[in-house]
Amino acid sequence: MNRLDGKVAIISGGARGIGGETARRMAEHGAKVIVGDVLEAEGAETVKAIRDAGGDASFVLLDVTKAAAWENAVAVAVKNYGGVDILLNNAGAYITKPILETTQEDFAKLVAVNLEGVFLGTKICAPEMIRRAQSAPVGSAIVNISSVAGMVGSRNSPVYSMTKGGVRLFTKSTALEFAKRRVRCNSVHPGLIDTPMGNLAMQRPGSSRSNTDMRELFANSHPIGRIGAPRDIASAVVFLSSDDAAFITGTEFIVDGGVTAQ
Ligand SMILES: NC(=O)c1ccc[n+]([C@@H]2O[C@H](COP(=O)([O-])OP(=O)(O)OC[C@H]3O[C@@H](n4cnc5c(N)ncnc54)[C@H](O)[C@@H]3O)[C@@H](O)[C@H]2O)c1
């Protein structure tokens, strides 16, 4: 089930967190992985871990806001592994600021990484993915990491929420544009996940509560009784990228321990 044998994946923000774990999981499932990130040292560590475990991966320096960097990532995937079957648009930026305190610079940064990065990745990887899809049994798959903050409004990070809502609908448009060309596209909506970004989201500057107290508070706010692990999201991404998800496109896959079910 959910095997990715013979498939080639490009993962943005693949150095650490959700992207790093998904890179390792995809490699375990037989994919060859291009780990793209602005963090070179962490990216190299992720690639080494995959190779040490017997998998195949390469690092590319990828700033998702730069078209030339995406073109290079595709060129490396084609040169090293023969093409691209899976694109995971995972790189993301986050801030906790109310609307009245958010500057235009904050806004531009979030839009550049979370929206322009997803647009550029899709536009630049799609031609190669469409080409490969024509000779693949099922086709190619794009997975976009949105958030539960892309489903409902956010008190703490309104502009982040705005960008993730954009990713949610861009996913559906992408699915419609590419459906007949054998490229599926779905969004994944994580709840609070234990990564550097998740830890940032748990902080409440000025609060007298300790970090341990905050973690417990957040864990208890999840019906399932804990916050998420990167592996929880990686499992969903592996499934949506695999041929087992052949009839799934344009959908929203919520992985949040029941938070939005309330
Ligand atoms: N952690 C959570 O609680 C949570 C919840 C919902 C959604 N998400 C989303 O999941 C995705 C992964 O987040 P994470 O929690 O693993 O965060 P993280 O901060 O641990 O990892 C994000 C990765 O993206 C990379 N990145 C940032 N800007 C980049 C750029 N311009 N070009 C290339 N790479 C860049 C970072 O270097 C890092 O490796 C993000 O899209 C985030 O918005 C996270």
Amino acid at residue number 2: N
Residue 133 included in any domain = yes
Count of CB atoms situated within 10 Å of the CB of 105: 8
Distance 89 CA to ligand 1 centre (A): 10
Using one digit for the tens of pLDDT, what is the confidence trace for 145-191?
999 999 999 999 999 999 999 999 999 999 999 999 999 999 999 99
Of 11, 18, 95, 116, the one to substitute when testing ligand 1's pocket (max ligand atoms within 8 A of C-beta) is 18
Residue 260 included in any domain = no
pLDDT tier, 207 (very low <50, low <70, confident <90, very high otherwise)? confident
**SS3 state at 138:** coil
Give 207 or 118, the one with higher predicted confidence.
Answer: 118
Output the residue whose Cα is nearest ligand 1's atom 40: 92
Q: Does residue 198 sit in the same domain as residue 251? A: no
Distance 201 CA to ligand 1 centre (A): 12
Of 195, 252, 256, 259, the one to substitute when testing ligand 1's pocket (max ligand atoms within 8 A of C-beta) is 195
Residue 220 included in any domain = yes
Nearest by Cα to 153 from 98, 196, 207: 98
Using one digit for the tens of pLDDT, what is the confidence trace for 122-144?
999 999 999 999 999 999 999 99
Residue 3 included in any domain = no
Q: Does residue 84 sit in the same domain as residue 172? A: yes
Extract the tokens encoding 39.
């963090």
Q: Does residue 92 sit in the same domain as residue 213? A: no
What rounded mean pLDDT belongs to the chain? Answer: 96
Q: The domain containing residue 219 runs over which residues?
A: 194-227
Strand partners, 214: none
Output the residue whose Cα is nearest ligand 1's atom 38: 13
Q: Does residue 181 sit in the same domain as residue 202? A: no
CATH of the domain at 39: 3.40.50.720
Q: Does residue 169 sit in the same domain as residue 245? A: yes
Active site residues: 160
Distance 180 CA to ligand 1 centre (A): 31
Q: Does residue 96 sit in the same domain as residue 58? A: yes
Ligand 1 atom closest to the Cα of residue 190 is 6
Domain total of the chain = 2
Q: Does residue 158 sit in the same domain as residue 69? A: yes
Ligand 1 atom closest to the Cα of residue 18 is 16
Q: Does residue 244 sit in the same domain as residue 185? A: yes
Count of CB atoms situated within 10 Å of the CB of 39: 17
Q: Does residue 211 sit in the same domain as residue 130? A: no
Question: For residues 237 and 201, is the Cβ–Cβ distance under 8 A?
Answer: no
- Answer whether residue 228 shows pLDDT above 90: yes
- Answer whether residue 103 shows pLDDT above 70: yes
Protein residues with CB under 6 Å of any ligand 1 atom? 12-13, 15-19, 37-39, 62-65, 90-94, 113, 145, 147, 190, 192-193, 195-198, 201
Q: Does residue 245 sit in the same domain as residue 202? A: no
- Answer whether residue 1 shows pLDDT above 80: no
Residue 76 included in any domain = yes
Ligand 1 atom closest to the Cα of residue 65 is 31
Distance 148 CA to ligand 1 centre (A): 14
Q: Does residue 12 sit in the same domain as residue 43? A: yes
pLDDT tier, 205 (very low <50, low <70, confident <90, very high otherwise)? confident
Distance 194 CA to ligand 1 centre (A): 11
Show contacts of 65-70: CB within 8 Å, 24+ apart.
65/112, 65/113, 65/116, 65/117, 65/120, 66/120, 67/120, 67/124, 69/36, 70/120, 70/121, 70/124, 70/125
Region 46-61: what's the mean pLDDT?
98
Residue 2 included in any domain = no
pTM of the model: 0.98
pLDDT tier, 225 (very low <50, low <70, confident <90, very high otherwise)? very high
pLDDT for 209 equals 85
Residue 1 included in any domain = no
Residue 20 included in any domain = yes
Q: Does residue 151 sit in the same domain as residue 212? A: no
